Amino acid sequence: MDDLLQLTHAGKALDGAPEFRGTCCAGGPDRAYGGHVVAQALLAAQRTVDPARFVNSLHAYFLSMGRPGTEVQYQVRILRDGGTYALRQVTAFQGGNALLSLTASFKKVESGPDHQIAMPHVPMPESVPAQGELVDRFWSGITSSVIRQSVEVRPISSNSADENAADHGGGRDRCMWIRITGGVSSDHWMHSAALAFCSDLALARTVALGHLDRQVGGKPHQKLFLTSLDHAVWFHRPCRTDDWLLFVQRSPTSGGGRGLANGEFWTRTGVLVATVAQEVLVREKQALTADARPIPAATMQAR
């Protein structure tokens, strides 16, 4: 994972902003994986702050589609350096085209009241099949061999989850164990970036859970076009991404051409380490015309 997220310092842009460069893997045919761009943008921001600060949140908007294997420039603006918090804004460019706008907040460690909700009762990763229909279904929409080699996923059957797990009308929570397999350095910044990388793998498709026809075996009753519009992560506590994390997702609502997905990351010992949210463009493919067809994914031009 360290090699996958590697950045090089490229001096400063014309406006004096620190600049870093990297390349991103494919998330689909001829299309850069949005989670990779988010992770590298976060790393670029982290390189301009005091190492004693930990990232506490990021908010990103996907502006246009990137090309895998082509250099991406990350320009960092220093918005604030306070006594506890620091704020950075990163814009990712490729060939002069803006791909992503990300704002990240960093803070020093401090003590205070602590509470969290309980982790759902699910089987431990060792008892969840590493191969099978659920695994194949998960990877069916992800063509990148780089992601498959770097991330291991073990989806949990809905029949194995806690019988008291929430049912949200459009479907129960979707749960999976996930971890980085290629090794991650002990640097806490690298683990934060690796978590951001993983957080974009499944959220968009979770929105489709609310559009299932239970009368036909749970298959989508219509073909949907799904693409990420924005992405947010709140980092609650440090974690290691090369150990198993439980990723729980759900979609509380969709309508008006948009859907919302959110979820949580937990350690195997039940520590809540991050909360994520993503807004997704949702349209019926058969309803698209040449004039109304959306620009693909993380591809949306600024509206």
Cα separation of 230 and 60, whole Å?
Answer: 6
Q: Is residue 136 part of a domain?
A: yes
Q: Is residue 232 part of a domain?
A: yes
Could you say which of 73, 228, 251, 254 is catalytic? 228
200 assigned to active site: yes
- Identify whether the C-beta of residue 274 lies closer than 8 Å to the C-beta of residue 236: yes
Any alpha helices (H) in 209-275, and if so which ranges? none
Q: Is residue 181 part of a domain?
A: yes
**CATH code assigned at 146:** 2.40.160.210
Domain extent at residue 62: 8-109+119-287
Q: Is residue 21 part of a domain?
A: yes
Q: Is residue 299 part of a domain?
A: no
Count the domains in the chain: 1
Comparing 66 with 275, the larger pLDDT belongs to: 275
SS3 per residue for 199-251: HCCCHHHHHHHHHEEHHHCCEECCCEEEEEEEEEEEECCCCCCCCCEEEEEEE
- Identify whether the C-beta of residue 149 lies closer than 8 Å to the C-beta of residue 198: no
Could you say which of 200, 249, 251, 254 is catalytic? 200
Q: Is residue 292 part of a domain?
A: no
Q: Is residue 42 part of a domain?
A: yes
Grouping H, G, I as helix, E, B as strand and the rest as coil, residue 181 is coil
Q: Is residue 295 part of a domain?
A: no
pLDDT of residue 220: 45
Taking only the tens place, the pLDDT of each residue in 49-93 is 999 999 999 999 999 988 999 999 999 999 999 999 999 999 999
Grouping H, G, I as helix, E, B as strand and the rest as coil, residue 83 is coil
Taking only the tens place, the pLDDT of each residue in 157-182 is 876 554 334 555 555 688 999 999 97
Taking only the tens place, the pLDDT of each residue in 195-223 is 999 999 888 888 876 665 443 344 443 47
pLDDT of residue 300: 32
Grouping H, G, I as helix, E, B as strand and the rest as coil, residue 193 is helix
Task: Share the mean pLDDT of the chain.
Answer: 84
